[in-house]
């Protein structure tokens, strides 16, 4: 056996060397994400610090994950206490935080009143969605298993959530995908109605298409979907993985479009639920949840004590600070700061899940340059930047980021 040279991971070589092809060739990490450009070591509130100590304004929050900011003391304390108490036992047994979290989520979904649903815990957004997709099949029964989703949607990267994702370019390399998915144009009720035959078990939509370019639904669309589903006993399932938990100015994105008991049958969430700890959840109205019986679905880690301790502290903190109201206030500050920048044409989105449409510059180039200049955000299309900052971001940090962005847009425009 020949002795191999020790592989060098980009994380060990510092950001200057990350683009070095020799270092990448020996990287032990699979090439699914492309070469990382920065290695972050530390986060505090809405600031990040790289391995050289350089500080960055964070307008991305891990793509809508650390909604309470980095290193939040309540979550850090909950995690460290749990680490010294009980890490894991398996879902054959009850653990401390599952029921309190489910009750908090149920009352957020009911806008302060119990909504009467039940929760399944998962480890990620895709897994929360897998639970919803399996529930739809169990609810519909054999022969009535089709799930209808929207074009440009994003529901995850596992095989079935990829099949649900309405982006054909992402499917090609992985054919054949699981069958039973139908895709319709976004926000088009007529096209949706046309495909709702007797094989359809559920319609599954995001309240704001996040990865698809930040496209919010409308009252007319969601009410129309609710009605079409009610008439046919089809489940209306909403993917709140990115929009959920206060970010949009309401606890859940669908609450901008549906009122009172007129809510979705199934709601999935993940990203912000553990403020960075991996946890997902699938909530369903009790009559839909009743389609599952013991043995139908399970996960080893889903809902385990460590993740749920973080989720409990996250939700308790969000309730204590009234996160939706705070998000709505910060949204106004962002809009004012962004629209004052030369080159920002318009803002769209729902609350702090927003995109800025640029004119005369390549948005992905702007995002890359912002990172160099110490501002973290995302180029979500060729012409739009996506911002998903912490709900707790300070006004001064919004201002600081806006100044960096204004400088970068001006510089990139100058270069032509």
- In the complex with ligand PLP, the residue whose CB is nearer, 24 or 349, is 349
Asked whether position 270 contacts ligand PLP by CB under 6 A, the answer is: yes
| Among 155, 250, 263, 369, contact with ligand PLP (rule: CB under 6 A) | 155
Taking CB atoms, the residue at the shortest distance from ligand PLP is 125
Under DSSP, the state recorded for 374 is T
Query: CB-wise, 352 or 412, nearer to ligand PLP?
Result: 352
Q: Is 97 in the site for ligand PLP (CB under 6 A)?
A: no
DSSP code, position 151? B
Structure tokens at 406: 């204004």
Q: Which residue, 150 or 323, has its beta carbon nearer to ligand PLP?
A: 150
Q: Is 182 exposed, middle or buried (0-12, 13-18, 19+ CB in 10 A)?
A: middle
Could you tell me which stretch among 26-34, 92-100, 154-162, 251-259 binds ligand PLP (CB under 6 A)?
154-162
- Of the candidate spans 2-10, 25-33, 153-161, 309-317, the one that interacts with ligand PLP by CB under 6 A turns out to be 153-161
Candidates 23, 57, 79, 126: give the one binding ligand PLP (CB under 6 A): 126
335 three-state secondary structure: helix
Q: Which three-class secondary structure string do you get for 15-72?
A: HHHHCCHHHHHCCCCCCCCCCCCCCEEEEEECEEEECCCCEEEECCHHHHCCCCCECC
Q: What 3-state DSSP class applies to 194?
A: helix
- Is 206 or 400 the residue whose CB approaches ligand PLP more closely? 206
Q: Report if residue 156 touches ligand PLP, rule: CB under 6 A.
A: yes
**Sites for ligand PLP among residues 187-206 (CB under 6 A):** 206
Q: Please identify, using beta-carbon distances, which residue of 139 and 154 lies nearer to ligand PLP.
A: 154
**Residue 164 phi, psi dihedral angles, 5° rounding:** -70, -35
Q: Does 408 bind ligand PLP (CB under 6 A)?
A: no
| Closest C-alpha among 333, 360, 373 to residue 415 | 360
- Shortest approach of ligand PLP to residue 128 CB, angstroms? 8
On whether the CB atoms of residues 69 and 392 are closer than 8 A, the answer is: yes
The conformation of residue 187, written as its DSSP 8-state character, comes to T
Distance of closest approach, residue 258 Cβ to ligand PLP, in angstroms: 18
Closest distance between ligand PLP and the C-beta of residue 45, in Å?
Answer: 23
Only segment of 37-45, 119-127, 216-224, 384-392 that touches ligand PLP (CB under 6 A): 119-127
Looking at the Cβ atoms of 350 and 397, the one nearer to ligand PLP is 350
Pairing, β 208-209 against β 200-205: unpaired
Of the residues 47, 56, 120, 154, which one makes contact with ligand PLP according to CB under 6 A? 154
| Residue of 62, 210, 253, 389 that binds ligand PLP (CB under 6 A) | 210
**Residue 274 φ/ψ, nearest 5 degrees:** -115, 10
DSSP state of 351: T
What DSSP string runs through 288-312? HHTT--TTS---SSTT-HHHHHHHH
Checking DSSP bridges between strand 375-376 and strand 55-58, what pairing results, if any?
parallel
199: three-class secondary structure by DSSP = coil
Answer yes or no: are the C-beta atoms of 39 and 366 closer than 8 Å.
no
Find out whether 397 and 387 touch, Cβ atoms under 8 Å. Answer: no
Length of the chain, please?
416
Residues between 234 and 253 that touch ligand PLP (CB under 6 A): 239, 241-242
Which of 69, 117, 125, 305: binder of ligand PLP (CB under 6 A)?
Answer: 125
Work out whether 124 is an interface residue with ligand PLP (CB under 6 A): yes
- Per CB under 6 A, the segment of 49-57, 122-130, 197-205, 314-322 that binds ligand PLP is 122-130
Is position 162 an interface residue for ligand PLP (rule: CB under 6 A)?
Answer: no
Kindly determine how many residues on this chain lie close enough to bind ligand PLP according to the rule CB under 6 A. Answer: 15
Is 130 one of the binding residues for ligand PLP (CB under 6 A)?
no
- Contact residues toward ligand PLP (CB under 6 A) are 124-126, 129, 154-156, 206, 210-211, 239, 241-242, 270-271
């Amino acid at each position: 056996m020949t002795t191999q040279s020790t592989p060098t991971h980009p994380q060990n070589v510092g950001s200057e060397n990350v683009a070095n092809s020799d270092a990448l060739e020996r990287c032990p990490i699979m090439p699914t994400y492309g070469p990382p450009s920065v290695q972050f070591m530390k986060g505090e509130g809405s600031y990040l610090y790289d391995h050289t100590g350089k500080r960055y304004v964070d307008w991305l929050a891990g793509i809508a994950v650390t909604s309470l900011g980095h290193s939040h003391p309540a979550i850090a304390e909950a995690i460290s206490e749990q680490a010294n108490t009980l890490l894991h036992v398996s879902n054959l047994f009850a653990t401390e935080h599952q029921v309190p979290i489910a009750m908090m989520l149920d009352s957020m979904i009911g806008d302060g009143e119990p909504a009467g649903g039940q929760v399944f815990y998962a480890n990620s957004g895709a897994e929360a969605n897998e639970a919803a997709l399996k529930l739809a099949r169990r609810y519909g029964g054999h022969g009535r298993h089709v799930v209808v989703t929207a074009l440009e949607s994003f529901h995850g990267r596992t095989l079935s959530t990829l099949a649900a994702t309405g982006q054909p370019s992402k499917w090609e390399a992985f054919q054949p995908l699981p069958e039973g998915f139908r895709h319709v144009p976004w926000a088009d009720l007529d096209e949706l109605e046309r495909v709702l035959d007797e094989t359809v078990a559920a319609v599954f939509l995001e309240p704001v298409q996040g990865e698809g370019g930040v496209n919010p639904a409308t009252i007319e669309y969601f009410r129309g979907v609710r009605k079409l589903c009610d008439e046919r006993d089809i489940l209306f399932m909403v993917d709140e993985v990115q929009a959920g938990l206060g970010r949009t100015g309401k606890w859940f994105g669908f609450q901008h479009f549906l009122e009172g008991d007129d809510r979705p049958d199934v709601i999935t969430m993940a990203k912000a639920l553990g403020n960075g700890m991996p946890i997902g959840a699938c909530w369903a109205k009790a009559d839909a949840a009743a389609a599952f019986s013991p043995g139908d679905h399970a996960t080893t880690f889903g809902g385990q004590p460590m993740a749920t301790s973080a989720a409990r502290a996250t939700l308790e903190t969000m309730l204590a600070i009234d996160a939706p109201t705070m998000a709505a206030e910060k949204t106004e500050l962002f809009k004012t700061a962004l629209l004052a920048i030369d080159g920002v044409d318009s803002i769209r989105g729902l609350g702090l899940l927003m995109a800025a449409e640029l004119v005369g510059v390549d948005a992905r180039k702007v995002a890359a340059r912002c990172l160099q200049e110490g501002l973290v955000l995302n180029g979500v299309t060729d012409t739009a930047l996506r911002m998903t900052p912490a709900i707790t971001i300070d006004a001064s940090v919004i201002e600081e980021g806006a100044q960096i962005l204004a400088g970068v847009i001006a510089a990139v425009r100058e270069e032509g």
